[in-house]
Amino acid sequence: MGDSSVAGALVPSVPKPEPAPSGDASTAAAAAALALAEEAGARAGSASPQGAAAEGEGPADRDLLCPICMAVIKDAFLTACGHSFCYMCIVTHLNHKSDCPCCGHYLTKAQLYPNFLLDKVLKKISARQIAKTASPIDQVRYALQQGNEMGVKELDSLMTLISEKKRQMEQQESETNMQILLVFLHCLRKQKLEELNEIQTDLQYIKEDISAVERHRIELYRTKERYSMKLRMLLDDPASQKMWPSPIDKASSLYLPNSRTPLSASSPGSLQNKKLDLKAQVSNQEFQRRDALTSSDPPNSPIQSGNVIARKRRVQAQFNELQEYYLQRRRTGAQPRRQEERDIVAMNREGYHAGLQDFQSVLTTFTRYSRLRVIAELRHGDLFHSANIVSSIEFDRDDELFATAGVSKRIKVFEFSSVVNEPSDVHCPVVEMATRSKLSCLSWNKYSKNVIASSDYEGIVTVWDVQTRQSVMEYEEHEKRAWSVDFSRTEPSMLVSGSDDCKVKVWCTKQEASVINIDMKANICSVKYNPGSSFYVAVGSADHYIHYFDLRNPSAPVHIFGGHKKAVSYVKFLSNNELASASTDSTLRLWDVKDNCPVRTFRGHKNEKNFVGLSVNNEYIACGSETNEVFVYHKAISKPAASHRFVSSDVDDADDDPSSYFISAVCWKSDSPTMLTANSQGTIKVLVLAP
């Protein structure tokens, strides 16, 4: 690499022959050419068929090649110095130079002589090679071109043979084509029959499910009708009115405009009027129920009609995705459920298939929401501090407090209820802790409300006591920036961290040094404990893979999940068996860590270089985007269910390009449609899923 005088490719050259002996040059050259040609002819004539075939396949004898074009000599001409060349080659050479290309002797066009003997020998050799290596058609064509005499009968016989051979080949080609077509049609028929069987099976599933839903729907309306009849009987029975005054009073208060007026203050006929009005309402409801039972669509009250229409539109918008999920669940059955859940399903949905019940749950949750609504907003940064990017935002154990951290080198803890219920432009944190370096990640301890862990850009993992605002432990074993830290849910004293030094370290708050060290080949972007075990850890790496480790045997991962095309920036568990991952290839992926297989890929947001946040709950996955938007996906649908764009409210930032900002952190509130989001401007919003 360091030597600059590297030789280039060399141009091939022809070896320089020795000069001819004294005497008549022309005679000597002719004699030499004749001897060479005779020797070549003798070699060609005495060669065996195998040798001739090999010679025909290999290159020609180098002595019969033109020294200029390196091909077999064509129209051989002899020079005064005894060398033979193609006529065009030597003439072209002498147009520029006056020497022999082989020996360099002075040469002019007047000193060129035709070499008839060499031409004759070369033609014979060529004819022999054609006769031995050419196809029969080429041999016949060559014989006709050479003018060989052939009788009319011989030609007729030859043409008859050729015609018969042509018909035979056409017949064979037709049979082959028919066979190929028949194979294709059989394969197509088999495929379509399989599709037809699958469609018929799916139709049978749909028919069964329609019957089950209709039966359950009728049961619901009959239950309501029985309740209405019972209520009507109570209204008609004077004794029941005395024994059960409360239901009548409550019912009358629902339908009469002035329900707070005491009965003693009303006129003697007011109670009777109220009873008549209530009977009219009940009769009207019964008529609607009977009409509903005879129609295909359920009755839509004016209050619910708008919501029902909106939910139907959501179904139509994602019909293909929902259809695919329904058929998948119906064919394979529902996901494993706890025994109590199975008992409830069997009691409430008698006659329902487990896959249909699972799909109904997905359909209900998916169509329930269509947008994200802002319920609170606050600024994370200081008024005169430009570095406001929020790298991490996390709820505490009870979802009462949430902490934020980022490049401002501060951990700020806010009271969630105050942020939501007390409108204010600036919310002051209830706790604020200063750090030495920029922070990358936070993790609350799920058992101790006052304990939180942080990782920073210097590779330090710190455990804090929020109540005393002091660090409890500091771990400084990482050699480079630590991107992620996570407390175990089942073992509160254990936490794990990952760093740019390609190491995953497991810590115990009761020890000063790491208890487990895992060396990997690529930068670590994210680490996460399985919520159901303190032994299993998922690791998102810059090598595009997710490594799933059992800490009891950390020498090799239990499984490596591959599918992302760029670095895996986040990993989060939806459940003990479901793992979500985010990557800078602008996709999210859902994995089954029990069966070690991919489940679904989510697309819609943009993420090519930044950490944009990832958060999950039981049904939904939220992530940020480099378009300054928050996206929410239902875990069963690959397209976004809702999104929200951050719009700057500051006058100074209103003219900025929105693409210059990105979402930097997201966090769901436990078992709630509410979430916290933050962007690179330091703006934090509380969003809630809304219809």
Q: Is 597 exposed, middle or buried (CB count within 10 Å of its CB: 0-12, 13-18, 19+)?
A: exposed
pLDDT at 16 over 60: no
For residue 553, the tally of other CB atoms under 10 A from its CB is 10
The arithmetic mean of pLDDT across residues 160-185, rounded, is: 93
453 with 464: CB under 8 angstroms? yes
681 with 653: CB under 8 angstroms? yes
What is the C-alpha end-to-end distance of the chain, expressed in Å?
Answer: 66
Query: What is the distance between the alpha carbons of residues 434 and 408, in angstroms, rounded to a whole number?
Result: 9
- How is 553-590 classified by DSSP, letter by letter? STTS-SEEEE--SS-EEEEEESSSSEEEEEETTTEEEE
Hey, is 541 helix, strand or coil? strand
Amino acid at 421: N
- How is 176-244 classified by DSSP, letter by letter? HHHHHHHHHHHHHHHHHHHHHHHHHHHHHHHHHHHHHHHHHHHHHHHHHHHHHHHHHHHHH-HHHHHH-
Taking phi first (over 0 means left), then psi (-120 to 50 degrees means alpha), and beta for anything else, what does residue 596 get?
A: left
Name the pLDDT band for 146 (thresholds 50, 70, 90): low
pLDDT at 248 over 50: no
Average the pLDDT over each of 35-49, 212-226, 577-591 and give the range with the smallest value.
35-49
Name the pLDDT band for 604 (thresholds 50, 70, 90): very high
Amino acid at 126: S
In the chain, the percentage of residues whose pLDDT exceeds 70 is 74
Average the pLDDT over each of 151-160, 244-253, 312-321, 416-425 and give the range with the smallest value.
244-253
578 with 584: CB under 8 angstroms? no
The arithmetic mean of pLDDT across residues 46-57, rounded, is: 38
The arithmetic mean of pLDDT across residues 337-361, rounded, is: 63
Query: What is the distance between the alpha carbons of residues 89 and 618, in angstroms, rounded to a whole number?
Result: 84
pLDDT at 245 over 80: no
pLDDT at 337 over 60: no
- 61, 77, 93, 112 from 66: Cα distances, Å: 11, 10, 13, 15
578 with 594: CB under 8 angstroms? no
The arithmetic mean of pLDDT across residues 561-586, rounded, is: 96
What is the pLDDT at residue 153? 83
What is the pLDDT at residue 386? 53
Query: What is the distance between the alpha carbons of residues 55 and 48, in angstroms, rounded to a whole number?
Result: 10
What is the pLDDT at residue 224? 86
Tokens for 372, please give them.
Answer: 């994200």
Nearby residues of 300 by Cβ (< 8 Å), 6 or more positions away: 308
| Structure-token match 């002035």, residue found | 258
The arithmetic mean of pLDDT across residues 365-384, rounded, is: 81
pLDDT at 600 over 90: yes
- 65, 67, 462, 497, 609 from 62: Cα distances, Å: 5, 9, 81, 73, 63
Nearest to 73 by CA among 656, 562, 62: 62
CA atoms within 13 A on the CB side of 47: 19
Mean pLDDT score of the chain: 80
C-alpha dihedral sign at 164, 166, 169, 174: negative
Hey, is 680 helix, strand or coil? coil
The arithmetic mean of pLDDT across residues 140-168, rounded, is: 80
- pLDDT tens-digit profile of 275-333? 455 455 545 554 444 444 344 444 444 445 678 888 888 889 889 889 998 998 888 86
Name the pLDDT band for 57 (thresholds 50, 70, 90): very low
Higher-pLDDT residue of 51 and 501 is 501
Which ranges constitute the DSSP H helices of 237-353?
A: 238-243, 245-255, 270-294, 302-317, 319-332, 339-348
What is the pLDDT at residue 62? 76
Nearby residues of 326 by Cβ (< 8 Å), 6 or more positions away: 355, 359
Query: What is the distance between the alpha carbons of residues 40 and 123, in angstroms, rounded to a whole number?
Result: 12
Query: What is the distance between the alpha carbons of residues 461 and 494, in angstroms, rounded to a whole number?
Result: 13
Hey, is 123 helix, strand or coil? helix
Hey, is 433 helix, strand or coil? strand
Tokens for 103, please give them.
Answer: 């020996």
549 with 519: CB under 8 angstroms? no
Average the pLDDT over each of 41-50, 278-287, 442-451, 566-575 and give the range with the smallest value.
41-50
Query: What is the distance between the alpha carbons of residues 89 and 74, in angstroms, rounded to a whole number?
Result: 9
Total-model pTM: 0.66
In the chain, the percentage of residues whose pLDDT exceeds 90 is 48
pLDDT at 465 over 70: yes
pLDDT at 629 over 90: yes
- pLDDT tens-digit profile of 106-133? 998 888 999 888 888 888 887 777 777 7
Higher-pLDDT residue of 632 and 280 is 632
598 with 563: CB under 8 angstroms? yes
> Rounded to the nearest 10 degrees, what angle do helices 302-317 and 354-368 cross at?
110
The arithmetic mean of pLDDT across residues 513-536, rounded, is: 95
Higher-pLDDT residue of 280 and 20 is 280
255 with 275: CB under 8 angstroms? no
- pLDDT tens-digit profile of 178-216? 999 999 999 999 999 999 999 999 999 999 899 989 988
Query: What is the distance between the alpha carbons of residues 650 and 629, in angstroms, rounded to a whole number?
Result: 17
Higher-pLDDT residue of 1 and 284 is 284
Nearby residues of 387 by Cβ (< 8 Å), 6 or more positions away: 381, 406, 407, 408
What is the pLDDT at residue 280? 52
Query: What is the distance between the alpha carbons of residues 139 and 128, in angstroms, rounded to a whole number?
Result: 11
458 with 472: CB under 8 angstroms? no
125 with 41: CB under 8 angstroms? yes
What is the pLDDT at residue 151? 77
What is the pLDDT at residue 366? 87
Nearest to 439 by CA among 412, 462, 411, 406: 406
- pLDDT tens-digit profile of 609-618? 999 999 999 8
216 with 351: CB under 8 angstroms? yes
Degrees, nearest 5: CA angle 266-271-276: 140
Nearby residues of 640 by Cβ (< 8 Å), 6 or more positions away: 602, 604, 605, 631, 632, 633
